[in-house]
Amino acid sequence: MTDQEQKKLGQTLWNIADQLRGAMNADDFRDYMLAFLFLRYLSDNYEAAAAKELGPDYPALGEDDKSAPLMIWYAANSDDAEEFERQMRRKVHYVIRPEHLWTSIVELARLQDGELLDTLQKGMKFIEEESFQSTFKGLFSEINLSSEKLGKTLPDRNAALCKIITEIAKGLKEFSTNSDTLGDAYEYLIGQFAAGSGKKAGEFYTPQFVSDILSEIVRLDGQEPATGPRSHIDSLLDFACGSGSLLLNVRNKMGPHGIGKIYGQEKNITTYNLARMNMLLHGVKDSEFEIFHGDTLTNEWPMLRETNPAKMPRFDAVVANPPFSYRWAPSDSMADDVRFKNHGLAPKSAADFAFLLHGFHFLKEEGVMAIILPHGVLFRGGAEAKIREKLLTDGHIDTVIGLPANLFYSTGIPVCILILKKCKKPDDVLFINASGPDNFDRGKRQNRMSPKQIAKIVETYQYRTEQPRYSRRVPISEIANEKNGYNLNISRYVSTAEAETEIDLADVNRSLVEIEKRAKAASLRHNEFLKKLGLPLLPI
C-alpha cells in the first residue's frame, strides 16, 4: 500500500469517526475507535499465524459462511486446543479466543446481536489478563462500554456499538489492509485526534517532522556522528512517551532488529494505554518493550529506583518531549535525589530541567540524549541558570537547535532541541538556528518542516558544519564570558538577520550632484522647444 493509500485509509476512518461520534466528544470517541482498530490488528495477525500453523487443517469457508475459521476448528478439535494455544504463544506471543476475534465481533454487529456488548467486554478482559505472557492489565480501562454516552439503556448501547463496528468494518473493507497499514492508520488517527484536541494533544503527540529530527540524531554514532548511523541500540528510553510515536519512529529508523529493548513511561492513563496498543500494532513483541504507568518526576518506576550503581539501568539513547514548563511541587528531600543533587532542583514554576536531568541521569557514558524544551531553558535565571552553567562547565551540552514557532498542536511558541552527552568530544557548543522563514513551510493552523529542511538540521549536527545565519560552533569561553554569562539564547550566537549593506555617503553625494546636473540640462533643452512654440517656460 502506497503512502497515499495509507493516508486515504486513515482519512476514511477519520471521516467515519466524525460521522459516528454524535454528541460524544472527540477524545472519548478516540478511545473506542483506536481500541477497535487495535482488536482488528491483533485478530488479523493471529488468524494469519493460525492459518500457517494449522496448514491444511485450517478450515476453508464457503461463500455464505460468516463464521471465523478458528471457530470451526475449535468446535471440531477441542482436545487439541490447549496445545495449539501453547504453540501460538511461542510463535506470536499471544492468544485470542475465536469468539473474541474481529471477524466474530463484526458478525455479531451485522446481526445486531444482543450479546455483542457482553462478548466485547469478555474479549477485552481476556486480552488484558490472559492473551499475552506479560499481563496488559488495564489496557482497555478507558473503554467504558457501559457509558451512557453510548446510550441510556443496555439495548441502546448494544445498538450503538453494532453501528460503530459495522461502519468501521465497511471502511476497512475498502482497502487491502495488513498489519503495517493498520499501524500507519492508527498513527494517522492519533495525529488527527491530536489536531482536534488543541492544547490537550501536547500530552501525547509529537508531530512527525519534529520526531524525525530527534530520531535521526540519536541513531547516529553517539561519539562520532560523522561516521554515520550505528547498527544497533541496546536500549532506548522515552520518559514522557505519550502515545509512543517517538519511540516507534526511532525503531523505524533503526529497523525492526536495530533496538534491543524499548522503554517508555507515561503518567496519563489514557495515553499510557495508547502507547501499549501502538507498540503491539507496529509489530513490537511484548518481550521487546516495557511501558510503565507512573510519575516521572517523583520517579515511581521501581526499575529506575535501583540504588546499586552496578544494577542501575542505563540507556544508549534517550528521547523526550515532556510537558512544557510544567508546574511541579518538589519536596525538600528531592534536593538529595541522585538525579538532581549535582545540579540543583528546577523551580516549582517550570519542571523543564527536572525532566532533562531525570533522562540525563540514566544515559550511558557513550550515549546521546535529545529532548524538546521551551526556549526559556536557554536564558531563564535563578535555579535554572545554575543548572545550565553546571551542564556547560561539565561539557554535557553538545548542540542547541532552535525550531520555528507554531509547530506543535499544544503551543504556538518556538521550541528548541537540546542534545546532551556525558562524554562529548568537541569542546564547543554547536548552535543551529532553524527558525528562519527558509527553514519551514507556513501552514494555516500549523507550520511544517519538509524532509529537505529536516535533513539540513541533521547533516549540520552530524558534520558540525558552520553556515552564515544558520549554524556556528561556539567555544565555552565565549558562552561563559561576562557578556553572555552562560546564556544560551540562540540569537546571541547565530542571528538570522541579513547584514545591512554599508553606504558610502560621498559616493551617494556625487551621484546626486550628477543627477542634478542632468536634470538641469534637460530642463534647459526643454525650455528651448517651449520658446519656439511660444509657450510658457519651465522654472529652473
DSSP codes of every residue in 409-451: SS--S-EEEEEE-SS---SEEEEEE--SGGGSB--SSS-B--H
pLDDT digits (tens, 9 = 90+) for 194-241: 666 544 444 457 888 999 999 999 999 999 999 999 999 999 999 999
- CA dist., res. 136 & res. 400, Å (int): 39
pLDDT digits (tens, 9 = 90+) for 438-459: 888 888 778 899 999 999 999 9
In 3D space, the residue among 32, 408, 406, 372 whose CA is nearest the CA of residue 189 turns out to be 32
Q: Which residue has the higher pLDDT, 75 or 462?
A: 462
Predicted confidence (pLDDT) at residue 91 exceeds the cutoff of 60: yes
Residue 279 contacts by C-beta under 8 Å, 6 or more apart in sequence? 244, 247, 248, 262, 289, 291
DSSP codes of every residue in 91-148: HHSB---GGGSHHHHHHHHHTT-TTHHHHHHHHHHHIIIIIBSS--TTTTTT--TT-T
Which pLDDT does position 252 carry in this prediction?
93
- CA dist., res. 275 & res. 142, Å (int): 13
- Split at pLDDT 50, 70, 90, the class of 108 is very high
pLDDT digits (tens, 9 = 90+) for 337-357: 999 999 999 999 999 999 999
- CA dist., res. 108 & res. 253, Å (int): 40
Cell digits for 460? 549540520
The pTM of the whole model exceeds 0.85:
no
In 3D space, the residue among 252, 361, 256 whose CA is nearest the CA of residue 315 turns out to be 361
Q: Which residue has the higher pLDDT, 503 or 480?
A: 480
Which pLDDT does position 180 carry in this prediction?
62
Tracing cell 523526550 back to the chain, one arrives at 320
Cell digits for 376? 526559556
- CA dist., res. 526 & res. 272, Å (int): 85
Lowest-confidence pick of 35-44, 144-153, 191-200: 191-200
Q: Which residue has the higher pLDDT, 37 or 189?
A: 37
Instruction: Provide the mean pLDDT of the chain.
Output: 88
Cα 181 vs. chain centroid, distance in angstroms?
18
Predicted confidence (pLDDT) at residue 135 exceeds the cutoff of 80: no
Residue 468 contacts by C-beta under 8 Å, 6 or more apart in sequence? none
pLDDT more than 90, % of the chain:
56
Predicted confidence (pLDDT) at residue 309 exceeds the cutoff of 90: no
- Split at pLDDT 50, 70, 90, the class of 127 is very high
Predicted confidence (pLDDT) at residue 109 exceeds the cutoff of 60: yes
